[in-house]
Every structure is written in structure tokens, then in C-alpha cells.
Amino acid sequence: MDRRYIELERRPELNRPVLIAGFTGWNDAAEAASLAVDTLREEWGAEQFGAFVGEEFFDYQSVRPQIKLIEGVTRTVEWPENALYATSGGVQALGGRDAVLISGPEPNFRWRAFCQGVVDLGRELDASLVLTMGALLADVPHSRPVSVAANAQDPSLVENLKLSASRYEGPTGVTGVLHRYVAEAGLPAVSFWASVPHYLPSVPSAPAALGLLQNLQNLVGGRLDTSHLERTSEDYQRQVAAAVSQDSDLVSYVQMLEERYDAQTDGGTRDLPSGDELASELEQFLREKGDEEQ
């Protein structure tokens, strides 16, 4: 493992850990992936044992350091980093295996070096599985179950989980690159992608985070305590439904998405349009509505 890129405060004692990664930024629509990883870190009591060297991977003008006050007096600087967390003593939900979590902003630089660092870390820690989580904006309504697509080396794994295989083609972020790097390195790798409504891009989506964790639970065969996210998801649905109901055009648009979702659910794999296509479709719909009202 290249120590230029990773700093370890200690080397944790781990039992065949599952390495789980999720990043804020482009791969994290509605903060679903980062919320899912943060939920695991808190539930499992994972503690930080290292980090990727921020100087090697971040443009501090794009991802700026933060000034924090300690007890209202002392100022300190918190630098962007991709932190490494680990459990100890095994996690019941993982069948007694441990977990290593990687979280933080999507790196600006040296993606190949970053991904190779994750591969090297996985090998050094004897990882039994590398799971990446992401979320993307899609033409899905908030009022239907969250769609989660999967990528895996073994297509039968996706089929057994009753997930749709991702058929996305187009620009990708570090999450997509990392999954391919890990898979091509021969480590067991799975990637989960939650779809969130494109008309709610900046509203943190507890339902999407919950969907990711439920699929993690199905994958590892354990039981996760997601009760907090379930309550938060119920609040999310109520608040979004109330907000949408205030806009008649949006109500009609969501109804159209619901009809399309219901028709496609029985048809298997769904092709996800690009963000530009979604924006164009919404603009056309609103223009047509405006013409009808004149």
C-alpha cells in the first residue's frame, strides 16, 4: 500500500471485513449514499483509524477547508478528507465480520491513484467484499418505492437479489470508477445505485438511503437497525407530498411519472434518461400545460 496516499493512525484488527464506500458530491444525489454510510458508522460504532492524504486528492478552492470554533473561542481548521473507519469485535449484521467504511467528498485529482489505494487497502485488510453506494437523479416519483440498481461481477448475484442490472451509459464519478477498479483487480465487488426524483435534487432523501441499506441487508443476509431512517422516511414523504400538492403543474407531472413507473415496473429493467433529457421533458410538459390554460 502506497503510504504517500494513505495515513494510518493504527492498524485495526479485523475479521474479513466488508469495505463500504460512499462519497458526497456528484455521486450522491439527495445525499442518499453519504447518509447511508453515516448511518452505518453511527449504528456500528465505527472509529476512525486513518484517512487518504487530502493534499494529494483535493482542490481546496473547490472543496474548501472549514473554520470551526472550539468552546466558542479557539479556532481550528477542518480539512477535507476521505476518512477510514473500522468496527471492532465483528458486526452481527455482517455475520460476525467487521466493516471498514470510506466516506468524504469525491476527490478532485488522481482518481486512478485513489482507486488503487482502495484496492491496496482492501487486500491488506483481507476484505471479503467491497461495496460502493451511489445515488442518481432519475425520472421516478417520490410516491413510489425507491428503485435500486446494481452492478456486480457475478450477474446471478444481481438476479438473486431481485434487482435490476444498471444499464447506464454516460459520465461517471469516482464511485463508478472505483467499482470497476476493484472488480478488475479481482476483489469481490458490488455497487448499489438508488434513483431519486430529479425534481428534488437538493432535498436529503431518507427513503433512498433506506433503500440502499435494505439492499445491503439482503446482500449480507443480516439484520440492520434502520428504525431511525424509517421514521425519517415517513416524515420525508409527508413533507414532500404537502409541498408538491401546492403546485398543480407539479402534481400533474408527478402523476405522469407514477403512471410511467407503474407501467415499467412489470417490464423489468428500466433505462434511465440523462439529466438534460429530464429537464427538457419537464420544460416541454410545463409549456404544454401553459398552452392549454391560455
Asked whether residue 1 is domain-assigned, the answer is no
CATH of the domain at 17: 3.40.50.10900
**pLDDT at site 1:** 65
**pLDDT at site 220:** 86
Torsion of CA 32, 37, 43, 44, to 10 degrees: 160
Residue 277: CB atoms within 10 A of its CB come to 12
**pLDDT at site 162:** 67
Q: Which three cell numbers stand for residue 113?
A: 491513484
**pLDDT at site 289:** 44
This prediction has a pTM of 0.85
Q: Measured between alpha carbons, how far is residue 17 from residues 1, 13, 187, 226 in Å?
A: 17, 10, 12, 21
Asked whether residue 256 is domain-assigned, the answer is yes
Asked whether residue 61 is domain-assigned, the answer is yes
**pLDDT at site 270:** 46
Per-residue model confidence as pLDDT tens digits over 217-226: 988 888 889 9
d(CA 192, CA 154): 14
> Which single residue is written with the C-alpha cell 472488480?
183
Q: Are 176 and 134 in contact (CB under 8 A)?
A: yes
Asked whether residue 268 is domain-assigned, the answer is yes
d(CA 76, CA 222): 40
**pLDDT at site 288:** 54
Total number of domains in the chain: 1
Number of alpha helices (DSSP H) and beta strands (DSSP E) in the chain: 9, 11
Alpha-carbon 262 to chain mean position: 24
Q: How far apart are the first and last CA of the chain?
A: 66
**pLDDT at site 4:** 86
Nearest-10 crossing angle of helices 227-244, 32-44: 150
Torsion of CA 132, 133, 137, 138, to 10 degrees: 90
Name the percent of the chain in helix, strand, coil, to the closest 5.
Answer: 40, 20, 35
Residues (pLDDT < 50) of the chain are 268-279, 281-282, 285-286, 289, 293
Q: Which domain holds residue 101?
A: 6-293
